[in-house]
Amino acid sequence: MKRNKEKRIFMAVCLIPAVLLVLIFMFYPTLNVFYMSLFKWGGFSPDKTFVGLDNFKTLLGDMQFIRSFQNTLVLIVLVTVITLSLALIFAGILTRVKFKGENFFRIVFYIPNILSIIVIAAIFSAIYDPERGLLNSLFNLKTLWLGDQNIVIYSVAGALIWQAIGYYMVMYMASMSAISESVYESASLEGAGAIRQFFSITLPLTWNTISTTLTFFVISTINLSFQLVKAMTSGGPDGSTEVFLSYMYKQAYTNSSYGYGMAIGVIVFTFSFTLSAVLKRITKRPIYEL
């Protein structure tokens, strides 16, 4: 009995610091965002005016917020589909196909992930430069990649895709490496080619990893898109690359509309949580094991 009591005390001592950190730095700030969204406040003035849900009503008619919402959706869908698809294909090739220099390609693919978002922004700003940029020079174009409102959001998407492929490729490779070689040998004897094996064996046996990374990637895209937009375009030209978090930041800390910015934060939190739950639900499949 005494030993069990000492064990419980030891576990409590170990857990209390972590619980306090979560409460102080996660739960309290989150609740405070919900609370502050109900006020009209500049962020620095001591005067706060309770306005209830007025900030949320204003959001419904804020065309710039709606545009930032649309841009965020475009990035989530486009970047997620292309990144995870390419990561799966490259992981399948590097796992199943043996060729000279495969470790070199693994390193090359992973390098973008260890670069800071500022470095990536600088690299792609140089690539997209209309006068001396790689794309225009290589294909003899005169495109304003970061100046044309119709294509600039896709230019940002390109940078996000390049940054993320290697990281998820490595995760999928780790999952694919755990699949027994005998399974593929049996499939080959049955006449299944490489593509059929990929869709009938590799994808089902790595689906749990794919489902987990899908949810994780969507949330990280919302966060990283803010950082990249802030570094590359600052939301321009004319708000055409404004996303959820960049617009929230601009309202809260640039336009001195802190309460309004926190209302946007509530929408972002609710959207992210709901989207994660939906993705987890629709990607739920039986777990296949060998």
Each residue's pLDDT, cut to its tens digit, for the chain (290 residues) gives: 667 777 888 888 888 988 999 999 888 988 998 999 999 888 777 788 889 899 999 998 999 999 999 999 999 999 999 999 999 999 998 888 777 777 788 888 888 888 889 999 999 999 999 888 888 888 888 888 998 888 999 999 999 999 999 999 999 998 898 888 888 888 888 888 888 988 888 888 899 889 889 988 988 899 899 999 999 998 888 889 999 999 999 998 887 788 999 999 999 999 999 998 898 888 887 665 55
Q: Which CATH class is domain 37-282?
A: mainly alpha
Residue 49 pairs with which residues in a beta bridge? 40
Backbone angles phi, psi at 62, to 5 degrees: -85, 105
User: Among candidates 170, 173, 176, which has minimal Cα distance to 109?
Assistant: 170
> Can you tell me the distance from the alpha carbon of 11 to that of 112, in angstroms, rounded to the nearest whole number?
40
Q: Are 232 and 145 in contact (CB under 8 A)?
A: no
Largest CA distance in the chain: 80
Does residue 192 sit in helix, strand or coil? coil
- Own/partner pairs for 76-83, CB < 8 Å, 24+ apart? 76/218, 76/221, 76/222, 76/275, 78/154, 78/157, 79/157, 79/160, 79/161, 79/164, 79/221, 79/225, 80/214, 80/217, 80/218, 80/221, 82/157, 82/161, 83/160, 83/161, 83/164, 83/165, 83/168, 83/217
Residue 231's identity, in one-letter code, is A
Closest CA to 42 of 264, 267, 266, 262: 262
Nearest to 279, CA basis, from 208, 221, 218: 218
Q: What is the pTM of this model?
A: 0.87
The torsion region of residue 288 among left (phi > 0), alpha (psi -120 to 50) and beta comes to: beta
